Amino acid sequence: MTRVAKLEKEGHQLRRDELSALRDWFRKYDSYAWDREIEKDILAGRLDRLAEEAIEAHKAGRTKEL
């Protein structure tokens, strides 16, 4: 049985309040991990081209205010 399958089995046995706590923890954990990944991409310059394209689009009037 895989680790994920074991976790799924355990998840089915959680009480409603435990499942809610797990959901909150995972949402925070996933958000933090995503933020770290984006920061690494920024520092590595992986988003530079996209930023430059966005700035050029704005200068050319191809953007709109949200």
The 3-class SS string of the chain reads: CCHHHHHHHHHHCCCHHHHHHHHHHHHHHHHHHHHHHHHHHHHCCCCHHHHHHHHHHHHCCCCCCC
Segments forming the whole domain that contains residue 64: 16-66
Phi, psi dihedral angles at 15 (to 5 degrees):
-70, 165
Residue 28, in any domain of the structure: yes
In a domain, 36, yes or no: yes
- Is 65 within the bounds of a domain? yes
How many CB atoms within 10 Å of residue 47? 13
State what percent of residues in the chain have pLDDT above 90.
97
pLDDT of residue 53: 97
pLDDT average, residue stretch 30-52? 97
Work out how many domains the chain is built from and give that number: 1
Average pLDDT over residues 33-44: 98
Residue 37 lies in a domain: yes
Q: What is the pTM of this model?
A: 0.67
